């Protein structure tokens, strides 16, 4: 390769490596601006809905955190598919422990083979809540929020342009294994977009919406045969001409580890969902990570050529590896923003910064694997169930993973514990 071509590729690699820094810088500024906004004290009855399946790591502590919310008027609704779900005894114990302090219920949603089980759980919870709530808050059971989580999440809903509000999920690895670090840094990549109301999306980990907006968006119908609760909600809110507003202080922490195989499965699943529901976002990520991998591989090959046979063109081409330190700087800058949003993790993030920097260099290659995988399939496995997404509005549960029999839902408020 001649000197001119090598020089052009190096220039492109440097420019390309600076783009994430620009996005992170914009994100930090947006977070600062959002954090300075004060909202009136929120009013309205809140239904805090948690779809549950199985016992996540730290599940008992997570439950306790949801019961400890300082919102003045809220009720908790835990929704499981079947009465023999392992989460049920833990949920029942937490409900009994907090009896008289927090209204809380466990419902059995039953099984429907036309949509994601999580959405069936959510829809049954909506039927159960009925007219008893003005604001709906959806959260994942592997999240561990602080006491002000609900209050801050619903705050921006007072704005006329706010269709929904969203937090996000930060995976905090208990130990710096490769799989755990990769999942954490890979998942963090979306943070630089989620603060931009023109391009962001609801996060299933933490979303709030007024019940009146939920009904205007006809979400029960929209969710009827879908797989993605959060991206479907995003699309319907946009269709109303409303915005999804990011609340930086509602980035919740998930304390659990992940093997490399689990991380690949998780990231593959998210990539396939993104391609089906938000193809423009998927294409941006696919092109970006593919180019990043190309520049790094090209730089490494030229470095090896220069070390073995020499040559000015090879030396210049090796400069494409400048992307790597730029990735490290970006990772550190992003961690700085996260430390401001999650001060309780400040020491842990500082201790793991070298692990995050290493993982940041591998994340584009993981994303390339995700891109290739999602090009050839619209099927995913989620919590042991195999799904096929035929479109954003049609999901099929593959029969080998789910009984064709339907379990009857049990919805009643006759007692605190629903069985």
| Extents of the domains making up the chain | 1-419
Dihedral over Cα of 77, 82, 84, 85: its sign: negative
1-419 CATH: 3.90.550.10
DSSP-H helix ranges across 342-389: 346-351, 353-375
Q: What is the pLDDT of residue 57?
A: 85
Provide the phi-psi class of 411: left if phi over 0, else alpha when psi is between -120 and 50, else beta: beta
* pLDDT class of 248 with cuts at 50, 70, 90: confident
Kindly state the tokens that stand for 110.
């039953």
Q: What is the pLDDT of residue 86?
A: 94
For 108, phi and psi rounded to 5 degrees?
A: -105, 110
**Could you report the per-residue pLDDT of 251-297, keeping only the tens digit for each?**
888 888 999 999 999 999 999 999 999 898 899 888 888 999 999 99
pLDDT of residue 94 exceeding 90, the answer is yes
pLDDT of residue 383 exceeding 90, the answer is no
**Could you report the per-residue pLDDT of 178-225, keeping only the tens digit for each?**
999 999 999 998 888 887 777 788 988 899 999 999 999 999 999 998
In whole angstroms, give the CA distance from residue 340 to residue 53.
32
Whether 131 and 50 have beta carbons less than 8 Å apart is answered as no
pLDDT of residue 63 exceeding 60, the answer is yes
pLDDT of residue 106 exceeding 70, the answer is yes
Q: What is the pLDDT of residue 417?
A: 43
E strand or H helix that includes residue 31: helix 3-35
CA angle 415, 94, 172 (to 5 degrees): 140
Q: What is the pLDDT of residue 1?
A: 62
Calculate what percentage of the chain has a pLDDT beyond 70: 94
Q: What is the pLDDT of residue 400?
A: 62
């Amino acid at each position: 390769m001649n000197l001119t071509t090598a020089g052009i590729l190096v220039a492109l690699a440097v420019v390309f490596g600076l783009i994430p820094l620009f996005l992170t810088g914009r994100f930090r500024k947006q977070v600062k601006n959002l954090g300075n906004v004060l909202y009136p004290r929120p009013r309205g009855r809140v239904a805090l809905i948690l779809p549950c399946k199985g016992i996540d790591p730290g599940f008992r502590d997570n439950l306790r955190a949801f019961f400890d919310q300082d919102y003045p008027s809220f009720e908790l609704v835990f929704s499981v598919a079947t009465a023999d779900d392992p989460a049920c005894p833990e949920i029942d114990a937490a409900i009994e422990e907090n009896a008289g302090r927090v209204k809380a219920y466990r419902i059995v949603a039953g099984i429907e083979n036309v949509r994601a089980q999580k959405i069936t759980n959510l829809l049954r919870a909506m039927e159960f809540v009925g007219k008893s709530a003005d604001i709906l808050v959806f959260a994942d059971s592997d999240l561990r929020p602080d006491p002000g989580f609900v209050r801050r999440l619903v705050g921006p809903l007072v704005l006329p342009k706010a269709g929904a509000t969203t937090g996000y999920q930060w995976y905090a690895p208990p130990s710096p294994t490769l799989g755990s670090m990769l999942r954490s840094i890979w998942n963090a990549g979306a943070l630089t977009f989620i603060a931009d109301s023109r391009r962001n999306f609801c996060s299933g980990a933490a979303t709030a919406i007024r019940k009146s907006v939920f009904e205007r968006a006809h979400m029960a119908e929209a969710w009827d045969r879908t797989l993605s609760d959060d991206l479907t909600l995003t699309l319907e809110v946009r269709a109303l001409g409303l915005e999804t507003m990011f609340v930086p202080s509602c980035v919740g922490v998930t304390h659990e580890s992940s093997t490399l195989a689990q991380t690949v499965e998780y990231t593959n699943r998210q990539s396939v969902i993104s391609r089906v529901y938000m193809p423009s976002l998927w294409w941006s990520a696919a092109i970006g990570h593919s180019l990043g991998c190309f520049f790094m591989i090209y730089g490494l090959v030229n470095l090896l050529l220069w070390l073995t046979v020499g040559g000015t063109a090879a030396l210049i081409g090796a400069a494409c590896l400048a992307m790597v330190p730029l990735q490290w700087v970006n990772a550190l800058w992003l961690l700085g923003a996260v430390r401001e949003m999650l001060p309780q993790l400040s020491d842990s993030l500082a201790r793991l910064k070298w692990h995050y920097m290493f993982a940041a260099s591998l994340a584009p290659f993981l994303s390339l694997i995700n891109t290739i995988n999602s090009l050839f399939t619209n099927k995913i496995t989620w919590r042991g169930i195999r799904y096929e997404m035929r479109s954003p509005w049609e999901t099929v549960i593959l029969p080998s993973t789910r009984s064709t029999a339907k379990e009857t839902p049990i919805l009643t408020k006759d007692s605190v514990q629903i069985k």
